[in-house]
Structure 1
Amino acid sequence: MSAQPSPPIDGPASLPEAPAPVAPRWLARFGCPPRRTVLLGLTGSVLLVVGGFGAGGVLVRDPVLTNSALGFWRYGHGREMATALVYLGVGLLVWAWVRLGRDVLASRVSGRAVLSTAAVWFAPMLVAPPLFTRDVFSYLAQGTLPLRGHDPYQVGPDVLGDVLSENVHYFWQETPAPYGPLFILLAQGMSWLFSATGQSMIVGVVGWRLLLLPGLLLVVWALPELTRRLGGRVPVALWIAVANPVTVIHMVGGIHNDLLVVGLLAAGSLFALRGRHVTAIAIVTSAMAVKATAGVALPFLVLVWAARLPGSFRVRLAKATAAGLGVFGAVFAFWTFVAGFGVGWLPALSAPSMIVNWLSMPTGVGEVAFTAVNLVAEVDKQPFVNVARILGAAVLVVIAVRQWWAARDGGPDAVRQAGVVLLAVALLSPTMLPWYVSWGMVLLAMTAWTPRGLAYVVFGSVWLLVVYYPDGETALYNWPYLAVCALLAGLAAVSLLRPDPLHLAAGARAPAPPRPEPATTRRRPWPL
C-alpha cells in the first residue's frame, strides 16, 4: 500500500495509445470526464432511487405509496421489479466507477473531474429512501426518546409505541443507543424538526441525510492537502473515498453516522499535520462523541504532537500525552454535560456485538470452527464464536501497539498507521458491517496505491455493496447469491486494468499508461 503507484499493464505494442477522451463543453466547464461515464453512473443512481421506494428500507406505512395506484411497487411482483432495478442500478454505478478509475489510472482526468462526477452521482441519493439498511429509523427514535423524557442509554425505541418504533428493525427495538453524546444532541435536534413537521418520516429521512452530509464535505475539504502529505494522488484518493459506490450507496444512500465520523477524522488528521494539535484532538474527540471507534486515532495524533516538541522521545511523549488528555477530557466532558445523560452510552457499546455474522473475521473463524466440529458432534455455536472473538481482540491489540510504535516519529506516517489500525478495528471487531471499512479507508485512500492495490479496492467495494439485501437484511448466508456476487466483484476488479477481460469487444484496448501531471498542477494548493 505504501509502494509508489506504477502504470497499468500496457496493451500490445502495435496498438497506438488511446487518445484522451474529450468532454462536451457543458461538462468540460466542471472538469468532468466523458459524458458516457457521468450519465452511466447517474442512470445507476436514479434506478437505485426508483427501485429503493419498493425494495429499500421502506416505511411500514408509506404516506405516498401505500394508498395510491403505485402501492403495488412495494408488494409481490412490483417489489420484485423494484429489487431488479436496485441491482441494475448497483451494476451501472459500479461500471461507471470502474470506467472512471481507468481514466484516473491513466491520468486522463483531474481531481476536479472525479469530484464533479461524484457530485452528479450523489444528487439523486439526496431524496432516496434508505438503501440496504434501516438505521436512520433508529436514529429518529433515539433522538425522540429524550424529547419524551426517556434516557436513550437505558431504553430502546420500543417504548415509544408509535410510527417511529414500528419502522425500527426488530433487532434494535429494545436496544439502548450505542452512540456518544454529540450524536444524541444531533438526534434530538433532528427529532424536534421531525415532530415540528407533523412526524413526517420523509422529512426525517431526508433531514438526517442532509445533517450527515457535512461529513462528506469535510472529507472533500481535507483530502487534497492530506493526500499530498501522505504521498498519494488527489484523483486516486477522490476516486476511492468519494466516488466509491460504497460512499454513494451505503454512506449517503444508507444514511449512516459513520459519514460524519470519517469527515471529522480527516479534518482532525489534517489539523494535526498542520501543527494545530489542540484543534486536531478536539475534532477527533468530537468524532469519538459520535462513535467511539474514532478514539483509536487519538494516540497517533499524540505522536504527531510529540514529534514537534523538544527533548527526548519519552519527554516529548509525556508532554504531548498530558496535553492531549487535557484537551480530550475537556471536550468530552463538554459534550457529555450538554447532552445531559452522563456516560451511560459506554455500557451500550457492546450492543453491536449481538450481531453474529462472518463478515467479522473472528466471528467467521468461530463459525467455521463450529461447523467443522458440529460435523462430528452436536455442540453449541456461541462458545466457538466467543473464543474466536477473544483471540481476534488479542490480535487487534498486537496490531495496534505495533503500528503505534512504528509511527513513533510522528508526521504523516502516524496518520497512515492510524488508518491501518482503524481498518483493522473494522475487520477484527466482534461485529463488522460494510460501512465500518470507511473508518480506515478514508485515511488510507490518501496514501500511494499501486494499480493492483486499486483492483483489490474494487473487489472489496463491490463485495461490501451486496452482502446485505436492499431492505437491510443480511445476505451473508445465501451461498449461491454470494458466489455470483464474488464472481461479479472479481470481474469488476479485473476490468479496472483490463477493459474487456471477457473479450466481448473485438479490438479492445488496454488503458493508456499514466501521464505525469504538470509541475504547475502539483504546486497548486488545491490540485483538483
Structure 2
Amino acid sequence: MRSSATPVPDPGGIPVRTILLGVAGVMLVALGGTGAGAILKRDPLLADTSLSWIRYGHGHDLATAVLYLGLGMVVWAWIRLGRMVHNGHVGSKAVLTAIVAWTLPLLFAPPLFSKDIYSYLAQGQLALNGLDPYRVGPAVLQSPLSENVSWVWQNTPAPYGPFFMLLAMGVVGATNASVIGGVVLMRLLLAAGLVLLCWALPGLARHLGGRPAVALWLAAANPLMLVHLIGGAHNDMLMVGLLAAGCLFVLDRRHVLGIAVVTLAFAVKATAVVALPFLVLVWARRLDGTRTAQLGKAIAGGLATFVVVFAAATLVSGLDLGWIPALSSSSTIVNWLSLPSAVGDFVHTVVSAFVRVGPGVFLTVARGLGSLLLLYIAWRQWRAADDGGPEAVRRAAITMLAVALLSPATLPWYFSWALVLGAGLAWTANGLKAAAFFSTWLLLVTFPDGDTALYSWGYLLLTVAVSALACVSLTKPDPLQLSSRYA
C-alpha cells in the first residue's frame, strides 16, 4: 500500500465514468434540493405552479430521497477518484476536471443544508439601507430577504468582517435585493475562494511534502467542501481560499503579500487570524539578526501589514468594529461537535437527574475551560513551530483543528479550516482513510433543510455505517463484493 508521500508521476488521464457519476449525483442533489433543501418560504419559481407539490407531503419525501441518492453518488464518485489518485492512476488534471464538473450544478441549486446565505444577503441589505448590521438583526427589515433567515439569527447582529460585508452589500445592490439572484451571485463570489484554493493547494503540497493530486482531492473535491461550502454557500469558502493563498505566498517568500491576503481572510471571517502568528514565524526565520531581532522585525512587519489592510477594508465598507463583539452570538448554537458544549450538556443531563437546574452555568463553565485549553494548545503549537518553514503551517493546521473542536459552538463545515491547511502534507493511506470517514460523516450530520441531525441517534448510526464503507472503499474496491467490476 503506497503512502501519499511516495513520489509518483502525475498521469494525465481523465476518469470520465467516475466524473460523470459525480455529475449525475450533484444534479440529483440540486434537483432534490428544490423541494428538500433550505428553500424559500415563497419560491417565485415554484409557487402557484404545477411543481409546487415537490415541497409538501409525499412530494417532499420524494425530493428528499432524490437528494440523498445524489449525495450517495457524489460520495461514491469522490471515493473512486480518491482511490485512483492514491494509487497513482490519475493526477491533478483529473481532480481539477472533477472539481469543475461537480461544482457547476451546485452554483445554481437552491441553498442546501443551511440557510446562512439568506442571513448574508439580509445583512448586506441592512447596510445598504443605512442600518448597522453589527447592531441590529435582519428582523428589522421585514423584506423577502429577511423573512427567509433562520429564526435563530433573526435578531442577531452580523459576526462577519468588513470585507465580506462589502461583498454582501455589492451583491444585494447588483441584484436589486432579489433573493434568487442574490443567492446565485453570492455563490459565484464564494466560488472564487474555491478557485484560489485549487490554485494554492499544489504549491502548498510542494512545500509541505505531499502530492498535489492528493491535496486537491482531499480539500477541494471533497463533498464536505463542495456540498456544504458551495451548495450551502458559506463564506468559509472564501475565507479558506484566501487563507490557503496567503500561506502559499508566505512560503514562497512573498511575506507582505501573504500576510495581506490572510488579513483579507480575517476580514471575511475571524477564524483566519489563527494562522497569522505561525506565518510570522516563517517570515522571522528568513531575516537576519538574533532570534529576538528576527521576531521583532517579523512581528512589526506583519502587524503593520495587518493594520493597513484591515483598516482599508473597514473604511471602504463604511462599518466599524462592531462585528468583533458580535462573534459571541454563535454561542447560541449548542451541539456536541463542540467538545466543551458536549461536556457541559452531558454534566447538566446527569445533574438534572437528581436536581432541577438550568443548563446555563454548566455550558458557561465547560466553554470557559475549553477556551483556556484552546489557548494552551495554540501557545504550545506556536512554540513548537519556532523553526518556521513548512512545520509552522502544519502546526497552524493542528491549531485550527483545536479551534473547531474547542470553540463554544461548532458546525460540520468548520473542520474545513484545518483540512485546507493540512491537505498538502504527506498523508499515509490510513490518514486518508480517516479523512474520508470523517469528511463523509460530517457531510451527513446536517439535514438538507439546515436542521442538525446530531440528536437523531438512529440516523447517526446509519451515517457511521455509510462513512465506514467510504473509508474502507478508499483502498479496497467493492468491499461488500456487490460487483465484479471495479472502479
Query: Is the TM value for this pair above 0.5?
Result: yes
Contact 2:115 2:450 (8 Å CA) reproduced? yes
Count of paired positions: 483
Contact 1:31 1:116 (8 Å CA) reproduced? no
Query: 1:46 — aligned with what?
Result: 27
What's the TM-score once normalised by structure 1's chain length? Answer: 0.89
Contact 2:161 2:266 (8 Å CA) reproduced? yes
Contact 2:5 2:426 (8 Å CA) reproduced? no
Query: 2:355 — aligned with what?
Result: 377
Residue identity matched to 1:320: A
Query: 1:525 — aligned with what?
Result: none
Query: 2:197 — aligned with what?
Result: 219
Deviation at 1:4?
Answer: 5.8
SS in 1 for 2:311: helix
| Among candidates 86, 103, 106, match of residue 125 of structure 1 | 106
Query: 2:60 — aligned with what?
Result: 79
Query: 2:301 — aligned with what?
Result: 323
| Among candidates 84, 88, 101, match of residue 82 of structure 2 | 101
Residue identity matched to 2:180: I
Contact 2:74 2:223 (8 Å CA) reproduced? yes
Query: 1:32 — aligned with what?
Result: 14
| Among candidates 140, 150, 158, match of residue 159 of structure 1 | 140
Write out per-residue CA displacement over residues 373-415 of structure 1, whole angstroms, 9 at most, x where no aligned residue. Answer: 2333333222222211111111111111111111111111111
Task: Indicate the structure (1 or 2) with the bigger Cα radius of gyration.
Answer: 1
| Among candidates 324, 331, 336, match of residue 353 of structure 1 | 331
CA separation in 1, counterparts of 2:213 and 2:301? 36
Query: 2:226 — aligned with what?
Result: 248
Query: 2:417 — aligned with what?
Result: 439
CA separation in 1, counterparts of 2:362 and 2:481? 46
Query: 2:260 — aligned with what?
Result: 282
Is 1:403 paired with 2:384? no
| Among candidates 183, 189, 194, match of residue 170 of structure 2 | 189
Residue identity matched to 1:375: A
CA separation in 1, counterparts of 2:73 and 2:403? 31
SS in 2 for 1:346: helix
CA separation in 2, counterparts of 1:5 and 1:211? 32
Is 1:469 paired with 2:444? no
Residue identity matched to 1:188: M
Residue identity matched to 1:286: L
Write out per-residue CA displacement over residues 17-53 of structure 1, whole angstroms, 9 at most, x where no aligned residue. Answer: xxxxxxxxxxx9x7411x3211211111010010000
| Among candidates 141, 146, 150, match of residue 169 of structure 1 | 150
Contact 1:225 1:270 (8 Å CA) reproduced? yes
CA separation in 1, counterparts of 2:163 and 2:178? 24
4+ residue runs over 6 A deviation: none
Write out per-residue CA displacement over residues 200-248 of structure 1, whole angstroms, 9 at most, x where no aligned residue. Answer: 3211110000011111111111111211111001111011011100111
Residue identity matched to 1:217: V
| Among candidates 49, 57, 62, match of residue 68 of structure 1 | 49
Deviation at 1:179?
Answer: 0.4
Contact 2:107 2:231 (8 Å CA) reproduced? yes
Contact 1:360 1:427 (8 Å CA) reproduced? yes
CA separation in 1, counterparts of 2:167 and 2:89? 41
CA separation in 1, counterparts of 2:97 and 2:135? 44
Deviation at 1:501?
Answer: 2.4
CA separation in 2, counterparts of 1:425 and 1:151? 29
Residue identity matched to 1:465: L
Query: 2:312 — aligned with what?
Result: 334
SS in 2 for 1:356: coil
CA separation in 2, counterparts of 1:88 and 1:441? 26
Is 1:490 paired with 2:468? yes
Deviation at 1:157?
Answer: 0.3
Deviation at 1:369?
Answer: 1.9
Write out per-residue CA displacement over residues 83-140 of structure 1, whole angstroms, 9 at most, x where no aligned residue. Answer: 1111111111001111111111110001111110121111211110100001111111
Residue identity matched to 1:361: L
Deviation at 1:503?
Answer: 3.2
Residue identity matched to 2:24: T
Higher RCO (C-alpha under 8 Å, 6+ residues apart): 1
CA separation in 2, counterparts of 1:504 and 1:202? 42
CA separation in 2, counterparts of 1:338 and 1:64? 36
Write out per-residue CA displacement over residues 421-466 of structure 1, whole angstroms, 9 at most, x where no aligned residue. Answer: 1121111101111111111111101101011111111111111111
Query: 2:161 — aligned with what?
Result: 180
Paired residues for 1:291-306 under 5 Å: 291-306=269-284
Query: 1:136 — aligned with what?
Result: 117
CA separation in 1, counterparts of 2:438 and 2:315? 40
Paired residues for 1:494-505 under 5 Å: 494-505=472-483
CA separation in 2, counterparts of 1:234 and 1:119? 16
Which blocks of at least 5 consecutive residues in structure 1 are unaligned? 8-27, 512-528
CA separation in 2, counterparts of 1:405 and 1:464? 31
| Among candidates 248, 254, 261, match of residue 270 of structure 1 | 248
Query: 2:431 — aligned with what?
Result: 453
Contact 1:47 1:85 (8 Å CA) reproduced? yes
Query: 1:12 — aligned with what?
Result: none
Query: 1:146 — aligned with what?
Result: 127
SS in 1 for 2:187: helix
CA separation in 2, counterparts of 1:259 and 1:306? 29
CA separation in 1, counterparts of 2:61 and 2:130? 41
Residue identity matched to 1:414: A
CA separation in 2, counterparts of 1:118 and 1:329? 35
Contact 2:83 2:475 (8 Å CA) reproduced? yes
Write out per-residue CA displacement over residues 343-383 of structure 1, whole angstroms, 9 at most, x where no aligned residue. Answer: 11111010111111111111112222222223333332222
Residues 247 and 42 of structure 1, relative CA distance in 2, 3 Å threshold: same
Residue identity matched to 1:338: V
CA-based RMSD: 1.7
Deviation at 1:500?
Answer: 2.6
Residue identity matched to 2:323: W
Contact 1:6 1:451 (8 Å CA) reproduced? no
Contact 2:5 2:209 (8 Å CA) reproduced? no
CA separation in 2, counterparts of 1:377 and 1:486? 34
